[in-house]
Structure 1
Amino acid sequence: MFKPLIKLITALSVVLIIAGCSETNEPQKGVQYEMLPTALTEFDLAPVTEIFSLNCGHCRKMESAIPEIETLTDQTIGKMHVTFNESAQISAMIYYTAVMQLDATPDHAFMDDLFGAVQMGADATPAQRQQALETAFTSRDLVSPYQLNKEQQVTLFNYIQKAEEISVKGQINSVPTFIVNGKYQVLTAGHQDVTSIAKTINYLLTQP
C-alpha cells in the first residue's frame, strides 16, 4: 500500500530538485539584474553598454575584464561615462574629449592611460596630473581637454548633456554597471566573477 506513495514522493522530490536547479541557473531579477525605471532605447546605446567613471577604482578593475566579457558575450561593449557629481562631470569631460575626436570608444590602452592619469595618488601634484593627461592625448595625436577650441567645446558639451540625460532617465547612481538592450541593468554586486556577469548579459540579450 505504501509503495505507490513512496514512488510519488520520490518523483515529486526529483521534480523539485530539477525546478530548484532551473531557478538557480537563471539570473534572478533583483539579484543579478533589474529593469530600468525608464527604457533608454531612444539613445541608440550599444546592445551592451558599460556605465562607468574614470574616478571609480572598481571601474578601473572592470576595464581589464572587458575583453573577456566581449569574448564571452560576442558583443562589442559600448561605454557611457556618468555625470552624477562634480568629479564625475570633470572626468566625463576628459573621456568625451577622446570619444569626440576618435568618433569611437577609446581602446583599452588609451582607457588605461586615462584611468591612470585621473586616479594618480594623493602625492601627485596638479601639474603632474595635467601632464599625464596631456601625454595620454598628445601621444595619440589628439587635442587634450586643456587645448579645445570653441567649436570642440560645444561638441563636448553635447556629449556631456546626452550622458547626463541618460544617467537621470535611467536613474543610474552606481558604477560600474552594464545596460543591456537599453532596458536592463546588470547588478555587478550580485555576481562572483566575470563569467557570471557575462552569463547574465547573455541572458538579458535574449529578453524582450
Structure 2
Amino acid sequence: MSKRIALALALAIAPLSSWAAQFVEGTHYTVVSQGPATEKPTIKEFFSLYCHNCETMEKRYLPLIKPGLDKSIDFQQGHVNWKQDHINTEVALSLAVMQEMGVADKVKKPMFDALIVPHNHGPGEHHENEDKVKNRDDIKAVFTAAGVDVADYDKIAESTQVKKKIMTWMLEQQKFQIQSVPTFIVNDKYMINMGSIQTLGQLTDLMNWLATQK
C-alpha cells in the first residue's frame, strides 16, 4: 500500500479527537518566516484547482476540519501559479473572482471537475484536463453552469483588488517556498508538514495549536 493511500485511509476513518503527542518543530511543522506573526490567528491553504489531492482536501477533509478549528481563526485560501502561463494565471484569477463575488463555495467544486478528469490508466487516477478549459470564456462557462451570473466577471477580474490579491499570492508562494499542494501556512510563519500527519484529529489540533503561536 502506498504512503498516499495509507494516509488517505487514515484521514478518512480517524476520529476528530485531541492528539496527545507533542508537536515538534522540524517534524510536524517548519518555521518559514522570521517576520512577525499575523495579529489575528490565520490559516491559509495554498492549493491548485488542477490538483487532485487538493480536490480531495476540499471535498472530503475540509468539511471535517473546519468545524474543529477555534472560532477566532481566519481560514483563507490562495491559488499557486508555478507555470505562470496564460491559462494557469486565468485559473488562479478565477479563484480570486469567486472570492470577490462570494461564490467560492458554489464554484470551486465545478472548477475542480472541469480541470481534473479521470485517467484511463486506472480507477481513481487523475490528470489535468487540458482540453476543456483553455481560456477565460471556458472558465466563465463553468461559472454559468454553476448558476453564477458572469456579466461582471471581466470587470472584477481586472479590478485593483483582485490584481492585488493575485500578486499577494504569488509573493507568498515565493516567500513561504510553496513546493507542493495543498500546503497550510499558519500565522504567516509556520508551514504544516503534511507528511507527518496521521489523522484528521492530529491535523486539526496542530492547526489550533500553531494558531496560538507568535
TM-score, reference length from structure 2: 0.69
The percentage of aligned residue pairs carrying the same residue is 24
Please tell me whether residue 153 in structure 1 is matched to residue 158 in structure 2.
Answer: yes
Q: Equivalent residue for 1:63?
A: 58
Match of 1:9 in 2: none
Between the aligned partners of 2:66 and 2:101, the Cα distance in structure 1 is 24
**Corresponding position of 2:133:** 129
Maintained 8 Å contact 1:45/1:182: no
Letter in 2 for 1:141: V
Q: Is the 8 A contact 2:184 2:191 kept in 1?
A: yes
Q: Specify the alignment match of 2:24 in structure 1.
A: 28
Distance in 1, matches of 2:35 and 2:143, equals 34
- 1:12-91 correspondence runs (5 A): 25-39=21-35, 41=37, 47-64=42-59, 65-74=61-70, 75=73, 77-86=75-84, 88-91=88-91
Find the aligned partners of 2:207 and 2:195 in 1 and give their Cα distance.
14
Q: Higher relative contact order at CA 8 Å, sep ≥6: structure 1 or structure 2? A: 2
More displaced, 116-125 or 67-76? 116-125
Residues 168, 57 of structure 1: alpha-carbon distance in 2 compared, 3 angstrom cutoff:
same
Q: Which has the larger radius of gyration?
A: 1
Runs of 4 or more above 4 Å deviation:
121-125
Q: Does 1:203 align with 2:209?
A: yes
Q: Report the residue type matching 2:58 in the other structure.
A: E
After superposition, where does 1:86-105 map in structure 2 within 5 Å? Answer: 86=84, 88-102=88-102
The one-letter code matched in structure 2 to 1:129 is V
Structure 1 pair 144–203 and aligned structure 2 pair: CA distance change class (3 A) = farther
For these two proteins, the number of residue pairs brought into alignment is 178
Q: Secondary structure at the match of 2:117?
A: coil
Partners of 1:186 and 1:171 in 2: CA distance: 13
* Bigger helix share: 1
CA shift digits 1:118-164 (9 cap, x unpaired): 213579673x436873343123333289x624x74243433221111
Instruction: From the superposition, tell whether residues 27 and 165 of structure 1 become closer, same or farther in structure 2 (CA, over 3 Å).
Output: same
Corresponding residue for residue 142 of structure 1:
149
Distance 1:45 1:169, change over 3 A: farther
Give the unaligned 5+ runs of structure 2: 1-19, 121-128
* Aligned match of 2:193: 187
SS in 1 for 2:23: coil
Q: Which residue of 1 aligns with 2:107?
A: 110
Cα contact 1:82–1:89 (8 A) shared by 2:
no
